[in-house]
Chains A and B, each alone.
Chain A
Amino acid sequence: MNNIFAVTAASGAASAALPLPPLVVSLLQIVVLLGMLFTIAAYTVLIERRVIAWLQHRVGPNRAGPFGLLQPLADVLKLLTKEESTPPFTDRWLFIAAPAIIMVTSMLSFAVIPFGPEPFMVIANMNVGVLFFLALSSLGVYSIVLAGWSSNSKYAALGGLRATAQMISYELSMSLALLAVALQAGTLSFNGIVEAQRDLWFVILQPLGFIIFLVSVVAESRRAPFDLPEAENEIVAGFHTEYSSMKFAMFFLGEYVSVMLLSCVVATAYFGGYLGPNIPFVPSVLEGPIYLLGKMALLVFFFIWIRATYPRLRYDHLMELGWKYLVPLAVLNLVVTAVITLALPHLTVAPR
């Protein structure tokens, strides 16, 4: 009986693939992944502002460096040196813990996203990777609950409540849609799910599941048109109304890292993750990251695009969409997928 963090057959050879001691490999993985996350998250903020500006016929931030490329650096420096306030009416420790939780959970989920077929391209090729991702996204809800409650401010309390109800509702349809993917791939590891798509991407096999997952993912990240917890004209900034300085930036970072994470999960579960045709003159090790990050970039652009396109939903419509449409449709998708998988077992490459 393997322990749950034990790794499936392929990754046993992790250190064999690289002529380096395991500790060095681990440290390299972590440094590269974290460096990439922070850089891309910072530039996602800039890209979002530029793209939104472009879609609204404005210019957007273009003063700091060429094309505004130094804007993220300027933002970080400014936020770090701004006044830090922990208001006296808050529940101090929970107030401090809340932004840390969202940052940790959203970054930790990247441990199970494979950036390539090689064993060292993923931090942990867990055989329960899908469950790990779902568990961490559930834990992320705690951050919102604690931020809203510990702030002891009315806007924060309302925003926290709204966000919690919204996130847990859409988590159902999200996990049901991912369940169908796991069923078709016959495995709960993200590596296995990608490998099962060598012949055919799951977006072609499960178009309904893909749409359900995409909608749930946008709602899960609390972005427009599902940004009711942060609806500026109703409740100021929602659950992070009382936050300032770097603690505010941690919520911000957590949001952008989870947008990247959810885009990566969509790409991995439906668009073949790191798979793609060979690129000439590029070492094959780099092909996986190029494809995954390219697909992620397109999906992040999609997130920004719909933010500029759609108006905000009404709250009762939001909850009805989740419970009355997405959940029953996701169950339908699951049953149809199960029947197709059993009737046509050779549609996907069987893993293991």
Chain B
Amino acid sequence: MTLSLILYTLVVVATALVTIVLSALLGRARRNYHKDMAYESGIVPTGDARLRMSIPYYLVAIMFILFDVEILFLYPYAAVARDLGWLGLLKAMVFIAFVFAGLAYVWLRGGLIWRHLSKTASGSLSSSQN
């Protein structure tokens, strides 16, 4: 029911907000110099934490967007697969083949390697340095 869903959303969001406000009100805050430092297991932190990330993280994010969107295109097909029959399956297979030719390409180019100096890939990219 739409009514239930809207109400439920409101209640859940309200619960989260109330929890945050409650914890801010109930816990006494006593601050001092050491408490205001970032926690690094007792070592005084140096510099900022906004460091450069290694390239594979960007690669995974880009590949996720590509593949996830393409998988989403298959959901409408899944809902009506029975009605579309064998011809529909054939068309879906063409689509799947294209998507996973992409995965195979990424794989062969070494886009899935996380190790430094890996020997498993056929054509490893220098971007796999981590």
Contact = CB atoms under 8 A, between A and B. Distances in A.
Interface of A: 5-7, 11, 14, 22-23, 25-27, 29-30, 33-34, 79-85, 87-89, 96, 99-100, 103-104, 107-108, 111, 119, 123-126, 130-131, 138, 149, 151-157, 161, 164-165, 168-169, 171-172, 175-176, 179-180, 182-183, 186-188, 236, 241-242, 245-247, 249-250, 315-316, 319-320, 323-324, 327-328, 331, 334-335, 338-339, 341-342, 345, 350
B123 interface: no
A236 B41 CA distance: 8
Interface in B63-82: 63-64, 67-68, 71-72, 74-75, 77-82
B28 A83 contact: yes
Interface of B: 1-5, 7-9, 11-13, 15-17, 19-20, 22-24, 26-31, 35-41, 45, 48-51, 53, 56-57, 60-61, 63-64, 67-68, 71-72, 74-75, 77-82, 85-86, 89, 92-93, 96, 100, 103, 107, 112-115
A107 B107 CA distance: 36
B12 A108 contact: yes
B23 A154 contact: no
Contacts of A100: 13, 16-17, 19-20
A29 B96 contact: no
A147 B122 CA distance: 38
Chain A contact residues: helix, strand, loop or mixed: helix
B89 to A, nearest CB: 5
B9 to A, nearest CB: 6
A154 B38 contact: yes
A187 B53 CA distance: 41
Given A108-B12, A186-B81, A250-B16, A81 B64 contact: no
